Amino acid sequence: MNRSNASTHPDYLTREEALRRLQVKPQTLYAYVSRGYIRSLPAQAAGPTPRRGSVYSRDDVDKMRARSLARAGHGPAAASAMHWGQPVFPSAITDITPEGPRYRSRLALDLARAGVPFETVAEYLWTGDWSDELIAWDAEPVPDGLADLLQALTRLHPRPHVLQLQAQATLALSVAEGSFSERIHAGGTPVVSARRLMHALAGVFGYLGPAGCFVAPQPGEPLALALARNLGVDATPEHAQALNAALVLAADHELSPATFAARIAASGRADLHACIVAALNVHYGSLIGRACDKVESLLEQPLDAAAVLLRVRRRLDAARMLPGFNHVLYPQGDPRARHLIALAREFAPERSLLMAIDRMQSEFNLYPGLEAALVILMRALGAPDHSAGGVLALARSAGWVAHVLEQRMAGFMIRPRAQFRPAPGAAIAASLLPGGGVAPVSR
């Protein structure tokens, strides 16, 4: 390969690499770019070597390639589906549309704008039954020992991450509720367990707020109000409505990696809590749930818009993607993010933050995604750091529960096949073993 045409960074491809990967003509590549399917940057941003032309987002190119491969047959379709490709199995929970996610038959944006309580949306996701009556979760107390257990964990580290505490709280609930048969004999149902789980996850936010400990929601208290109280946010109707909108818009987004993990666990007949723990642990990855933390770091306080733009320029000059921006499924911007940022503008204690975001979009074509919008809203409400990532996990847990229940009804095990490809040095390594044979296998 001509070295001048070789990519020198992980996130972008040169024109020649993109054309080879897509197996298309240059005109087709340019059409993808003009329609917003593939993002591009000036080639000077790709590295120190001066060059002309543009470089192209590797993720976007792979997504377009997946669409083409999916038409070629079952094997290629299955392989391509694992990376922003074609759907791998049917689901009646969420449809991704240009207007954002549609929960069953209702657009999430419409639900958020109408002020529909998060509890109503959660149970709609779980059961598929819509209720116009106000739903209050007032009879699902968390176990007495849960707060003591979480407090004991802080002796291992003074400030564990909120996502870690949420995972531990979920495990504790699993122990407290006993075996599956014990839950049935006690009259428990998945919906009852899910309500108690959501209360426990909301109580964990007490560690981020003034209390510094687990604070369970009060009986009948809307989750958005409990969240505001635990985070130390003024519990005005406007603030509670904004937090409720954030929970509603973040409740589900189809098969994210964490959601897929929950469904895989459910397909192996793991209990509800084990499935949610699996999802939370995947969500804790730096590219998913902790993307909010990275946005917070980018927009560190005290905020200086010029310093933010300089950090952004340096990342782009190094051809690195910014977490929390330019979601692959929304090439023209995430409609969920637009709504949450519009709410943040109503409070806007930090005009410089919103100015920085506006300039990032106008100067660098960086459209905020849900993670960035959650950070902006939490900052506007005066919530502490890590609130955004915790809110995303709290909201998404409702969607995970829905996917677990649906997967149980589907009744099949998710077990993809791997395409075996020997590592380049495998044959050489085998020849160096005693006798030139295969290494002994431990049984």
- Following DSSP, what letter does each residue of 373-439 receive, concatenated? HHHHHHHHHTPPTTHHHHHHHHHHHHHHHHHHHHHHHH-----PPP-----TTHHHHHHTSGGGSPP
Pairing of strands 12-14, 54-57: antiparallel
Look over the chain and give the mean of its residue pLDDT values, rounded to a whole number.
Answer: 84
- 328-352: pLDDT as tens digits: 888 889 999 999 999 999 886 567 7
- Residue 399: pLDDT above 60? yes
User: What pLDDT band is residue 68 in, cutting at 50, 70 and 90?
Assistant: low
Q: CA 39, CA 59: separation in Å to the nearest integer?
A: 9
Which of 355, 349, 256 minimizes the C-alpha distance to 304?
355
* CB within 8 Å of 351: residues ≥ 6 apart: none
- Residue 74: pLDDT above 70? no
User: What pLDDT band is residue 87 in, cutting at 50, 70 and 90?
Assistant: low
CATH for 89-412 (1.10.580.10, 2.60.40.420, 3.40.630.30, 3.40.50.1970): 1.10.580.10
At 199 the pLDDT is 94
Query: How confident is the model over 412-423, as a mean pLDDT?
Result: 81
- Residue 11: pLDDT above 80? no
CA 290 to chain centroid: 9
Maximum average pLDDT range among 215-224, 299-308, 396-405, 423-432: 396-405
- 240-250: pLDDT as tens digits: 999 999 999 99
Query: What burial letters (b/e) apply to 184-204, b meaning 16+ CB within 10 Å?
Result: eeeeeebbbbbbbbbbbbbbb
Which of 182, 143, 171 minimizes the C-alpha distance to 272?
171
At 443 the pLDDT is 44
Domain layout of the chain by residue ranges: 3-81, 89-412
Query: How confident is the model over 186-190, as a mean pLDDT?
Result: 79
How far apart are the two ends of the chain, measured CA to CA in Å?
44
pTM metric for this prediction: 0.77
